[in-house]
């Protein structure tokens, strides 16, 4: 009997230590969170497709919405394939972020009397003023921006025809403007016309007004669907896109202004003569190094010409 006592004590100690060891092993077995750094021109759809997850799961894992803009060098958490809706990844990110913040040394709170009572109310106002000044300065630095003689008045030319007139008056697209756009943006191959999206008319009118009503040269507007086209679901097929340039204004300047518009897609083509603009639900920007008539050749993570088409592009041009 005395010999059994040490054996029982050892067995009891092992039994008590087993759950702790199991928990540690389970903790160590958890794989690290997978992350992705956004590069120029990428969209949520492109990233989701690359990792074979849904856009909704990607959004939920990162606490963002489908329409939330993403920026180059932004870090996104990629949900595991068995995390179908991204909720598990979101919870884990929250836990690890909370644990990390608790581990950091707390900063000493400043004495209440040293903090100006007006600070919470005045600081946002001053920041707003600085933002307005910055926007004003940016606009003043654009030597090509000028006040139009007639706001809402466009001068459009394409291979399909010409049109001059008021596209937008008193905040509404005019009947003449709608008809004029449909004529000028008609297919240059067949002459076929399509209803041009009202918001595209408004966006191109804003571009015209910003650059002082300069003439706009349209390279391509509506394009009937063709089985051999490079982009299966091109916005040109629906009358939602236009390729154009403004004589006397560098394409880089036109591109930068177009990127300030909301809910648009902007494509920059360094080896072509035009800027692509379309209307969509989420702001998108890409660089395509292809030349006229060539297959798309999208920029790599550094914005450089990769020399080959990027299969995961999906920009919808």
pLDDT, tens digit (0-9, with 9 covering 90-100), for 230-273 = 887 889 999 999 999 999 999 999 999 999 999 999 999 999 99
pLDDT category of residue 14 using cuts at 50, 70 and 90: low
**Three-state DSSP class for residue 143:** coil
Whether 95 shows a pLDDT value over 50: the answer reads yes
Residue 289 CA, distance from chain mean position: 19
Burial class from Cβ neighbours inside 10 Å (0-12, 13-18, 19+) for residue 28 reads exposed
Which region among 97-101, 161-165, 182-186, 282-286 has the lowest average model confidence (pLDDT)?
97-101
pLDDT, tens digit (0-9, with 9 covering 90-100), for 128-150 = 444 444 444 445 567 899 999 99
**Three-state DSSP class for residue 107:** coil
Select from 45, 50, 16, 20 the least CA-distant residue to 35: 50
Burial class from Cβ neighbours inside 10 Å (0-12, 13-18, 19+) for residue 40 reads middle
In DSSP notation, 46-79 reads HHHHHTT--HHHHHHHHT--TT----TT-EEEEP
Buried b (16+ CB within 10 A) or exposed e, 73-83: eeebbbbbeeb
pLDDT category of residue 47 using cuts at 50, 70 and 90: confident
**Three-state DSSP class for residue 269:** coil
pLDDT, tens digit (0-9, with 9 covering 90-100), for 99-127 = 765 665 554 444 444 433 333 433 344 43
Mean pLDDT of the chain: 79
Please give the Cα distance from 120 to 232 (Å, whole number).
52
Which homologous superfamily does the CATH classification assign to the domain defined by 33-97?
Answer: LysM domain (3.10.350.10)
Portion of the chain with pLDDT greater than 70, in percent: 73
The mean per-residue pLDDT over the stretch 78-89 comes to 88
153-287 CATH fold:
Muramoyl-pentapeptide Carboxypeptidase; domain 2 (3.30.1380)
Whether 2 shows a pLDDT value over 60: the answer reads no
Give, for 21, the enclosing helix (H) or strand (E). helix 4-29
The mean per-residue pLDDT over the stretch 161-167 comes to 96
Please give the Cα distance from 151 to 210 (Å, whole number).
9
Please give the Cα distance from 58 to 160 (Å, whole number).
43
Output 287 or 74, whichever has higher pLDDT: 287
Distances from the Cα of 220 to the Cα of 118, 186, 217, 254, 308, angstroms: 56, 8, 9, 16, 24
User: Can you give the pLDDT at residue 290?
Assistant: 85
In DSSP notation, 161-198 reads EEEEEESEETTEE-HHHHHHHHHHTS-TTT----PPPH
Which region among 81-85, 238-242, 274-278, 285-289 has the lowest average model confidence (pLDDT)?
81-85
Its sign, for the CA torsion 207, 209, 210, 211, is positive
Portion of the chain with pLDDT greater than 90, in percent: 41
Can you give the residue ranges of every domain in the chain?
33-97, 153-287
**Torsion (CA) 130, 131, 135, 141 in degrees, nearest 10:** 40
User: Can you give the pLDDT at residue 314?
Assistant: 45
The mean per-residue pLDDT over the stretch 165-169 comes to 96
Output 201 or 141, whichever has higher pLDDT: 201
pLDDT, tens digit (0-9, with 9 covering 90-100), for 296-308 = 888 876 677 665 4
pLDDT category of residue 294 using cuts at 50, 70 and 90: confident
């Amino acid at each position: 009997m005395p010999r059994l006592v040490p054996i029982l004590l050892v067995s009891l100690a092992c039994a008590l230590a087993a759950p702790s060891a199991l928990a540690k092993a389970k903790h160590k077995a958890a794989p690290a969170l997978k992350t992705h750094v956004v590069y120029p021109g990428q969209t949520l759809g492109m990233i989701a497709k690359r990792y074979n997850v849904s856009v909704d799961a990607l959004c939920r894992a990162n606490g963002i919405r489908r329409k939330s803009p993403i920026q180059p060098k932004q870090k996104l958490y990629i949900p595991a394939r068995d995390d179908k809706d991204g909720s598990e990844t979101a919870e884990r990110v929250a836990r690890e972020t909370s644990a990390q913040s608790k581990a950091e040394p707390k900063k000493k709170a400043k004495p209440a009397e040293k903090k100006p009572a007006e600070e919470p109310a005045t600081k946002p106002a001053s920041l707003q003023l600085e933002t307005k000044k910055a926007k004003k300065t940016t606009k003043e630095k654009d030597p090509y921006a000028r006040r139009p003689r007639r706001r809402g008045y466009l001068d459009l030319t394409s291979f399909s025809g010409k049109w001059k007139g008021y596209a937008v008056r008193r905040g509404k697209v005019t009947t003449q403007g709608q008809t004029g756009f449909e004529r000028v943006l008609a297919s240059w191959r067949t002459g076929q016309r399509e209803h041009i999206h009202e918001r595209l008319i408004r966006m191109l009118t804003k571009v015209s007004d910003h650059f002082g009503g300069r003439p706009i040269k349209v390279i391509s507007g509506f394009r009937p669907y063709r089985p051999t086209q490079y982009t299966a679901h091109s916005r040109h097929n629906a009358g939602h896109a236009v390729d154009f340039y403004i004589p006397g204004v560098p394409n880089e300047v036109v591109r930068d202004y177009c990127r300030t518009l909301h809910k648009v897609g902007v494509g920059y083509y360094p080896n072509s003569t035009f800027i692509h603009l379309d209307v969509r639900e989420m702001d998108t920007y890409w660089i395509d190094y292809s030349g006229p008539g060539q297959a798309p050749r999208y920029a790599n993570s550094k914005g450089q010409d990769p020399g080959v088409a990027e299969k995961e592009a999906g920009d919808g041009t």
